[in-house]
Amino acid sequence: MAITQQVPRRRAKVEKIPEYLVREILNGKVLPYIGYREVLSKEKQLSEIMGCSSLQSIITVLITLFLGSRINRKKYFIASNEAGLHLDKKSNLSNDVAIYEKEGLVLNNNYFKVAPKIAIEVDIRVDLDPDDHTDKFSYVLEKAQKMIDFGTQKVIWVMTDSKSIIVFSKTETSIIVNFDTDILVLDDCVLNLGQLLKDEDIAY
């Protein structure tokens, strides 16, 4: 007879994850940084898990610079550096790159409380509890849907491992494309990540 072994819940192992190790809270699910266990066991310093990889960093910067040169800067702000977004009592998210409409937007020392028009993510940088998310894609779907429901028009998710991009839209069918595909971000701004990387002589 086959014996099925259950994967124990993370919360059974760690009674409380310190706030400084939590990157996001999604529908009440605590999502710490990848590597948080090593920080708790003092195998790593906090600074070792907070940063992104060199490729993730460059892709984020290239996208931000590209958007800044293409979108209407009189109408939109570009937020980056894990811009915090407070959706409700059970959800505080972060975005690698987000485009906000300037009209009516209040800037202060707190998280954004209105939906970005466009959100762009580069990879997954949270440790997933197997009881909350069966795989990485279930987390991606849940976060994207949460943002769409909150009012975001489009969530663009870059996956460096598979060299693919998932585009979630409020008004169109979601698609998965490769890096070399033209993606309409907003208005007349079209992003081709593959071309951006080629322009910088970055192999991918």
Which residues neighbour 20 within 8 Å (Cβ) at sequence distance 6 or greater?
A: 46
Task: Give the pLDDT of residue 34.
Answer: 95
pTM above 0.85?
yes
Under the banding of pLDDT at 50, 70 and 90, the label for residue 16 is: confident
For the cut 70, the answer to whether the pLDDT of residue 116 exceeds it is: yes
pLDDT exceeds 70 at position 164 = yes
Task: Give the residue with greater pLDDT, 9 vs 8.
Answer: 9
Q: What is the pLDDT of residues 42-68, one digit of tens each?
A: 999 999 999 899 999 999 999 999 999
Domains of the chain (ranges; CATH) run 52-199 (3.90.1570.10)
Percent of the chain whose predicted confidence (pLDDT) is above 70: 93
